[in-house]
Amino acid sequence: MRRVVVTGVGMVTPCGPTTEESWGAITAGKSGIGPITLFDASEHPSKIAGECRDFDPLKFIEKKRLREGARFIHMAIATSQMAVDAAGFSPSDEEKERVGTFFGVGLCGLELIEEQHKRLLDRGPRRISPYFIPATISNLAPGQISMRYGFKGANYTTTSACSSGAHAIGEAVRAIRWGHLDAALAGGAEACITPLGIGGFTAMRALSTRNDEPERASRPFDQGRDGFVMAEGAACLVLEEREAAMKRGATIHAEIIGYGATSDAYHLTQPAPEGEGAQRAMKLAIEDGEIDLDRVGYIHAHAPSTPTGDLQELQALRHVLGSRASEGQVWISATKSMTGHLLGAAGGLEAALTVMSVKTGVIPPTINLEEPEESAQGMELVAGSSRERTLDVALSNSFGFGGTNVTLAVARHD
């Protein structure tokens, strides 16, 4: 079976508008969470979020073309450009026919949906923008990227709640492995910090209301957590067939060697007891990559900072990794403590961060971890500050509403 490697990474996050700035802030343990500025949140119980305050779409898109895409599309385009430029990826016209584009998106252009609905009510149907539909539908994130670069391989969006970006990467890896494509851009994008977005998750009692301490609000694995912090952003990977990447002299950051995807078939929003579906996703990724458990040194946890989600993932890790987890041999961290929860983009971003950890040997911390969940006893949660460790294999977990679970296995390239 053909091997798939990562040759480029692009990120826009609440911690920074570029890959380098995001990675630098996250490894330094700096939170990107603060008061909401994208709209007046004064009447909302949750008034904090992870906004990409320094993101400027005009650095990547002509001003006259901004109206063709909602904010999530702008971020997707930006991260694709970062990743392509970093990879030095410039296929010929013939090669472009075998380059795919896969992006995970959860809720798509919510800010434009709200804006255009208000326009409909206030000014009537004739005042709806002709760009409204193409600017908001989720598949225009990969669609715009495909058109930008002329990539003519498979082009579609995966939508699976918080697993969307991870599914996109996994499906791209499969397409390259099986010979359907030779390369792909894959990742996730989301921008739903709007009155309806925040209000909807608040109505579910899912969001933190630690408004006076926004930087301390996202607390994965901590007993003081009171919900997740909503965030926006995007991430993109350039994935290539290994031999082709080596032939063109590309810098290889890491290899994607395993992909596992499952369903809990259990509950609308709650994970299955003891993370049963998450267990199977991890096991499938390990089996897919033919990975000896002794090779796994790091877990980039999904860990949304919710009591049930964090607990079930810890239980799943104990079931799958056994004593390697319970005796601290496998290190675990959760970057949502700094970025917040990027929803449909979370799996793409966290896979990108896992690639960076495998490449550099730097494991980002879980900040705000002051009183660890009792069920984490004996586990190495990498609290407070980054640590260094040479990694052979790391797993990135992404779980979402509807019981959707994805695990990606990332290996050091040899």
Closest CA to 166 of 96, 237, 250: 237
Q: Is 80 exposed, middle or buried, given 0-12, 13-18 or 19+ CB atoms closer than 10 A? A: buried
Q: Is 124 left (phi over 0), alpha (psi -120 to 50) or beta?
A: left
Question: What is the spatial distance between Cα 172 and Cα 15, in angstroms, rounded to a whole number?
Answer: 27
Tokens of 219: 């607390």
Q: Let me know: does 153 contact 161? Beta carbons within 8 Å.
A: no
Q: Is 95 exposed, middle or buried, given 0-12, 13-18 or 19+ CB atoms closer than 10 A? A: middle
Using DSSP, state whether 188 is helix, strand or coil.
Answer: strand
Q: Let me know: does 182 contact 95? Beta carbons within 8 Å.
A: yes
Q: Is 410 exposed, middle or buried, given 0-12, 13-18 or 19+ CB atoms closer than 10 A? A: buried
Tokens of 55: 């993101």
Residue 379's CB is within 10 A of a number of other CB atoms, namely 23
Closest CA to 343 of 215, 211, 194: 194
Closest CA to 199 of 305, 71, 43: 43
Tokens of 106: 């959860």
Residues 6+ apart with CB under 8 A from 237: 6, 8, 9, 10, 83, 169, 185, 186, 187, 348, 351, 352, 355
Q: Is 378 left (phi over 0), alpha (psi -120 to 50) or beta?
A: left
SS3 content of the chain, % helix, strand, coil (to 5): 40, 20, 35
Positions annotated as catalytic residues are: 162, 302, 341
Distance (Å) of CA 183 to CA 100, 175, 248: 6, 9, 13
